[in-house]
Homo-oligomer: A and B are copies of this chain.
């Protein structure tokens, strides 16, 4: 913990319990993840925030490529007539797109929207490049930004423009496409657990909550510190919906024309919002080691004394071969540096001063528990790597514990309302499958269905709302 005299920086963050939204805003600004711009609803992602995104990208991109996906780049613009080709899709997106009407000083003959998502562009392309079953599957992905005209925005969670990846694939059969949809959902879940240290619930969205134009939408849902749910990634099965709208057909082995089956799936910079709200505390960010731009920060103690900076540099040299390390040899006080890197969520702080050097040791302070340990300089690399893995595992465990402790069961509407009001978190409850009950629950409690989890439990045989025969166990919650 930072010393008393250097508390000023730390105290500048609003505490989580006092005002969670303000705590969040304080972190994104003070940890220098983002800045606001004069473009309403758009954010500037600063170097520290962007480096987190690059680490997320690198991991996901490798997982996509390992499973045979190729990156492409589609145009930023979609002509209005193209957007209108699939009816449900345009209905879902048209109200929230930005329209380009002029190029230079000329008015355009047809308006172009700035892509809110690229299904229509991919479909048009697929319809041109696919002839035979030999051309299938096509497994494409693109990294880009998209624009959705949002009324209220919050950095990373909901912004007018955001960065994401969108996978788009086509297959010869419905079975293959469905397998792909689940495969990618599993990749997202693994990324969240293995890299972001965020446990997720996997399941299917209800008809009401699914993507515009999809037959089925699958989702991973996670729980934030304030008990609200966050839709963390989605994977959609389109059936042959878009294939029919865009006439994407291939000749099968028997020479018959068949429609293709399609999927799309995406995660966004929202993942960074999840990292902040799942792991952070009143001292600031807590970054999972595998995406931390700085995994170890070296803070020299009494750095003016002979040999200290030399040793700090030597350790930095050694550690830079195995981890992302920074030496802060600026003339700020160590206590100030402690607070600064706690705020920035650096997983491990390494302190080295004259006494440590005498004893051939350094002090390692882990951000997740603030525990201090002294380790010999001799096998520092191994110690640091072991510690980073341990921090990852502990963060995942803590997040899972917190989520499980804030997951409640409701068997009737009274219990449901009581939980929403007094115990923010996930609510597990049975549902009859009718849209009316789903609407009523939202109206009366503000909670929405998060997903019908793959792992079903029988909590009772009656719908929590209407009391009729229950079809599914559903996760509910207030959500971002």
- Distance, CA A304 to CA B260, complexed state (A): 32
Q: How far is the CA of A69 from the CA of B365 in the complex (A)?
A: 29
B104:A101 contact, CB within 8 angstroms: no
The answer to whether B98 and A71 have CB atoms under 8 Å apart is: no
Q: Does A70 lie at the interface of the complex (its beta carbon under 8 Å from any beta carbon of B)?
A: yes
Interface residues of A in 33-78 (CB under 8 A from B): 35, 37-39, 42-47, 50-51, 53-54, 70-78
Contacts of A121 in B (CB 8 A): 37, 39, 44
In contact, B42 and A124 (Cβ under 8 angstroms): no
Q: Which residues does chain B contribute within 8 Å of A102, judged by CB atoms?
A: 98-99, 101
Given contacts A102-B99, A112-B39, A129-B35, contact A50 B73 (CB under 8 A): yes
Assembled-state Cα–Cα distance A112/B121 (Å): 23
A51 to B73, CA, bound (A): 10
Q: Are A46 and B72 in contact (CB under 8 A)?
A: yes
- Whether A73 pairs with B100 at a CB distance below 8 angstroms is no
Residues of A within 8 A of B (CB): 35, 37-39, 42-47, 50-51, 53-54, 70-79, 82, 94-105, 112, 114, 121, 124-125, 128-129, 140, 144-145, 147, 149, 160-161, 163
Contact of A42 (CB < 8 Å), options: B44, B53, B70, B75: B75
List the B residue with the shortest CB-CB distance to A142. Answer: B50
Q: Other than the known A37-B121, A99-B100, what 19 A-B pairs have Cβ atoms closer than 8 Å?
A: A39-B75, A39-B79, A39-B112, A43-B75, A44-B74, A47-B71, A47-B140, A51-B70, A76-B114, A94-B104, A95-B104, A96-B104, A97-B103, A98-B100, A98-B103, A99-B101, A99-B102, A100-B114, A103-B149
**Within the assembled complex, what's the spacing in Å between the Cα atoms of A44 and B38?**
31
For the complex, give the distance between the alpha carbons of A401 and B74 in Å.
37
Selected contact of A51 from candidates B71, B99, B104, CB within 8 Å: B71
> In the assembled complex, which residues on chain B have CB atoms less than 8 Å from the CB atom of A75?
37, 39, 42-44, 161
> In the assembled complex, how far is the CB of residue A374 from the closest CB belonging to chain B, in whole angstroms?
33
Residue of B nearest to A47 (CB): B70
Distance of A170 from chain B, by nearest CB (Å): 14
Task: Please name all residues of chain B whose beta carbon is closer than 8 Å to the beta carbon of A114 when the two chains form the complex.
Answer: 76, 100, 114
Q: What are the residues of chain B within 8 A of A104 when measuring CB–CB?
A: 94-97, 149
B37 engages A74 (CB within 8 Å): yes
Quick one: given A50-B71, A70-B51, A147-B76, are A125 and B44 in contact (CB under 8 Å)? Answer: yes
- 7 smallest CB-CB distances across A and B, nearest first, come from A42-B75, A47-B70, A103-B149, A45-B73, A99-B102, A39-B75, A104-B149
A145 cross-chain contacts in B, Cβ below 8 A: 73, 76, 144
| Contact between A79 and B35, CB atoms less than 8 A apart | no
CA distance A381 to B51 in the complex (A): 35
Most buried by B among A44, A45, A114: A44
Let me know if B99 and A38 touch, CB within 8 A.
no
**Residues of chain B within 8 A of A105, CB atoms compared:** 95
Give Cα A76 to B78, complex, Å. 16
Evaluate contact between B76 and A42: CB separation under 8 angstroms: yes
A98 to chain B, nearest CB (A): 5
Min Cβ gap A82→B in Å is 6
Distance from A241 Cβ to chain B, minimum over Cβ atoms (Å): 20
Contact residues in B for A77 (Cβ distance below 8 Å): 39, 42, 98, 161
Q: Which residue of B lies closest to A93 (CB)?
A: B104
Question: Who on chain B is nearest to A159 by CB?
Answer: B75
Q: How far is the CB of A435 from chain B (nearest CB, A)?
A: 25
In angstroms, Cα B118 to Cα A38, docked, is: 13
Q: In whole Å, how far is A132's beta carbon from the nearest beta carbon of chain B?
A: 13
CB distance from A144 to the nearest CB of B (A): 8
Considering residues A35, A74, A103, which has the most beta carbons from chain B within 10 angstroms of its beta carbon?
A103
Q: Which residues of B have CB within 8 Å of A94?
A: 104
Report 13 cross-chain contacts, Cβ distance below 8 Å, ordered by A residue: A35-B125, A35-B129, A37-B124, A39-B75, A39-B79, A44-B72, A44-B73, A44-B74, A44-B125, A97-B103, A98-B102, A98-B112, A99-B100
Q: Which residues of chain B are within 8 angstroms of A129 by Cβ–Cβ distance? A: 35
Distance in angstroms from A77 CB to nearest chain B CB is 5
- Within 8 Å CB of A147, what residues of B? 76
Cβ–Cβ < 8 Å partners of A73 in chain B? 44-45, 50, 53, 145, 163
